[in-house]
Amino acid sequence: MDYLTTLNPEQREAVLHNEGPAMIIAGAGSGKTRVLTVRIAHLIDYHRVDPFNILTLTFTNKAAKEMRQRIETVVGTEARNIWMGTFHSVFAKILRVEAPLLGYPSNFTIYDTDDAKSLLKNIVKEKNLDSKVYKPNVVLNRISAAKNRLIDAKQYKKDATIASYDVKSRLPELANIYLKYEERCFKAGAMDFDDLLFNTYKLLSKHPDALNKYQSKFRYILVDEYQDTNFAQYVIVKKLAARNRNIVVVGDDAQSIYAFRGADIQNILNFEKDYPELRVYKLEQNYRSTNTIVQASSSIIKHNRAQLPKSIWTDNDEGKLIDVIRATSDNEEGKLVAHSIYENKLNHQISYEDQAILYRTNSQSRAMEESLRKLGIGYRIVGGMSFYQRKEIKDLLAYLRLTVNPNDEQALRRVINYPKRGIGDTSVGKLLIASDETGQTLWDIVLKVKGYLGGSVAGKIDGFATMIRSFMIFGQKNDAYDTAMHIAKTSGVLRDLSSDKTIEGVARYENLNELLNGIKQFVDDQEREEKDLGSFLQEIALLTNADEDEEDDREKVTMMTIHSAKGLEFKNVYVCGLEEDLFPSAMMLSSREDLEEERRLFYVAITRAEDQLTLSYATSRYRYGRLFNCSPSRFLEEIDSSYLNVKKPKERSSIFLERKEKPAIGGEKITSKEGGFRLKAKPIRKTFAKKYTAPPDFKPDDPGLLEEGMRVEHSKFGFGVISKIDNAPNSKKAIVTFDEVGEKTLLLSFAKLKIHS
DNA sequence: TTTCTGTACTAATCA
DNA sequence: AGTACAGAAA
């Protein structure tokens, strides 16, 4: 029970709350994760609750993992039996078992946003609708919103209000697209992200035995970040908790930032209505930030009308004022931020891992990256274009998906002609028509292709089907790694990539190997029981942006969107791009609700900082390759100016601005998963390869003169040092570490290198 | 059927 | 700046 002594009275009360519903309103930095973990530990350790009976829903898998580890220090390995994870991953786990009740195979595929969009694109095309009007993005958002409100395609079609709204917004065919989309997903044995929630709801409402089973299993339910749950999640939780009513939700209305995904603050208010016996606990003391930051954040959030009454306070020091940096361009903004980070380290011994750069949109990372690289500051980017979104990764994954579930239409279409095997769009189109007319899946048609197509194409398709079938048989007898390796080799994917000797091609090949390594680590994980391909695919389908690798973070600045930063904290935080139309986003200016959500997002951003907060903006910025002027964000004016230190451009030390540029280190994007393996993508940087252009008088030297350790100039990559020369008979190679683009292997018969002494 | 090339269009946040 | 698509040429 020592763990209770570390809590303040309010926290302790929340932890000791016994049975029945409770809501914990926890301000930023008030120790809510601590309360949650101690509470769970207390349930197990003191109240002798069986961990199997506890369900904890968190916002990221990483948060769940950390929480589990902390609980383990109190109650031991028993903690591993707690059901803990994101809504999506917990529900996917349930659906793996129960999907057959809903007519889905238990090895169902999970469609990510890209799969969903490309399926919608296909449907729009098949219906001969204008894809400029029915944009996949827009259509998907509408369908997603409907699913989050638990409206299926049939109900959608019947609903007069929705119909008139769709007509008004000139998308009258939406209902029919939704019907088709639903049908195609079901036929393919696939669920999109929203289906994981929707189908769980269907399961619990249509199958009393299943409802009964999970209600008695989950006797204690805890929900973190409750302010970001949507209607579907709300209803499911309510159903699960209906019998025991032991539900504790933790949230902060001021940090609700996912309305675009259907999150509804209303859920907090509904909660009070649903459980009249509800106890409410408030955690108002901030342990994270300086008083300046706490006060400044309060001065911002009070501009919002919609909020629950609470007053955040802190015992911490007053701290430093909030710096405001003004730059003339996005590139200069990056430079100033990078220099400031460098200076913090040099003069104040603040290591890079304690510093973070936050921005509204992922596209803002580029200018920052370049500046950090020039100063030789290591960094890592959370989110953005992730490893799994790369073409080469998706290609192999499509083969793997197809092997697990051959009805997966998106996967089939992706690889039926990759690598090129002479099955073009025309032929695939014919198969699709046959599939539509006969009601069979695309795979069924492929199996019986000779009945629908003639000529040599039929033979090729037949060969493809035979290959996939052989993969399926192979997969039944082997683990995920051996199967994936077999598939990569036999399908020709590996050969196709290794034949591409361009720089980008080599990077792609390495990425593919990284994926295979990742699968190997998955298989080698001692704690894992299921090592088949299907388990691996399920594992990676639900990775979140924040599910990051930790061992590699040392001496690296963290960069991410503010959304990804939720729940995190850093000593020094830079919030960039504080300009009208960027933050707040131009798309969020039309209603008070939207603007207030942007303001909450800003609130989340600044409350990430412990000691020092810096806000920056630029007066011009590149968009669509053009330079646009911008004006400072209204949010800057909303902060009480007594907390601000507006830096005048002159004050900045010129030493830094003229410093010689250092070679780059670091700079890889990292994505990983909690099971212990991690995947790094080799960045494919055409941009930087293009950036450098040799002077007109550039003349390469004779490759024979090159030696290890020499400093050389390359016509595209700029300057670098030869780290190794490989004297293979017909392909002399040099490995050169370039200042800007990092290590490259160059074939000396092609590469033009000039020696610099 | 594939590959090349020019053009049109686009970048908000996430599971 | 990057890319996705359409149309022409091979």
What's the confidence (pLDDT) of residue A690? 32
Higher pLDDT, A260 or A355: A355
Q: Is the dihedral of CA A200, A203, A206, A207 positive or negative?
A: negative
Q: Do A438 and A445 touch, CB atoms closer than 8 A? A: yes
Residue type present at position A36: L
What's the confidence (pLDDT) of residue A633? 95
Is A462 one of the annotated active-site residues of the chain? no
- Distance (Å) of CA A459 to CA A414, A442, A693: 19, 16, 49
Q: A212-238: b or e for each residue (b if 16 or more CB lie within 10 Å)?
A: eebbeebbbbbbbbbbbbbbbbbbbbb
Using a pLDDT cut of 70, give the percent of chain A over it: 87
Dump pLDDT digits (tens) for A490-514: 998 888 888 777 777 888 888 888 8
Mean model confidence pLDDT for chain A: 86
What positions of strand C are covered by protein, i.e. any atom < 7 Å from a CB? 1-3, 5
Dump pLDDT digits (tens) for A26-74: 999 999 999 999 999 999 999 999 999 999 999 888 888 889 999 999 9
Distance A426 CA to B2 C1' (A): 13
* Average pLDDT of the residues in A212-240: 95
Is A608 one of the annotated active-site residues of the chain? yes
Distance A213 CA to B14 C1' (A): 31
Q: How confident is the model at residue A730 (pLDDT cuts 50, 70, 90)?
A: very low
Is A752 one of the annotated active-site residues of the chain? no
Dump pLDDT digits (tens) for A298-319: 999 999 987 777 889 999 999 9
Nearest nucleic acid nucleotide to A597, CA to C1' distance: B13
Distance A433 CA to B13 C1' (A): 38
* DSSP result, A149-167: TT--HHHHHH-HHHHHHHH
Over 80: is that where the pLDDT of A717 sits?
Answer: no
What's the confidence (pLDDT) of residue A318? 94
Q: How confident is the model at residue A664 (pLDDT cuts 50, 70, 90)?
A: very low
Confidence (pTM): 0.83
Closest CA to the C1' of B11: that residue is: A363
List A225, A330, A395, A713, catalytic entry: A225
List A224, A408, A548, A549, catalytic entry: A224
Give the lowest-confidence range in A290-294, A365-369, A743-747: A743-747
Q: Is the dihedral of CA A166, A171, A175, A178 positive or negative?
A: negative
Over 60: is that where the pLDDT of A111 sits?
Answer: yes
Dump pLDDT digits (tens) for A395-405: 999 999 999 99
Is A266 one of the annotated active-site residues of the chain? no
| Cross-strand pairs, A671 | A679
Residue type present at position A613: L
Higher pLDDT, A125 or A315: A315
Is A674 one of the annotated active-site residues of the chain? no
Dump pLDDT digits (tens) for A665-702: 333 333 333 333 445 555 544 333 333 444 445 556 66
What's the confidence (pLDDT) of residue A713? 75
Closest CA to the C1' of B13: that residue is: A563
Angle of CA points A435, A139, A206, to nearest 5°: 70
Q: Do A336 and A653 touch, CB atoms closer than 8 A? A: no
Token pair 């570490």: residue: A737
Using a pLDDT cut of 90, give the percent of chain A over it: 57
Over 50: is that where the pLDDT of A561 sits?
Answer: yes
Is A561 one of the annotated active-site residues of the chain? no
Nearest nucleic acid nucleotide to A59, CA to C1' distance: B15
Token pair 């101690």: residue: A38
Q: Is the dihedral of CA A200, A201, A203, A204 positive or negative?
A: positive
Nearest nucleic acid nucleotide to A430, CA to C1' distance: B1
* Average pLDDT of the residues in A244-256: 93
Residues in contact with A740: Cβ distance below 8 Å, sequence separation at least 6, in sequence order: A373, A664, A688, A691, A692, A717, A718, A719
What's the confidence (pLDDT) of residue A127? 87
* Average pLDDT of the residues in A341-364: 94
What's the confidence (pLDDT) of residue A748? 59
Give the lowest-confidence range in A197-206, A474-483, A538-547, A563-572: A538-547
Nearest nucleic acid nucleotide to A87, CA to C1' distance: B15
Over 90: is that where the pLDDT of A548 sits?
Answer: no
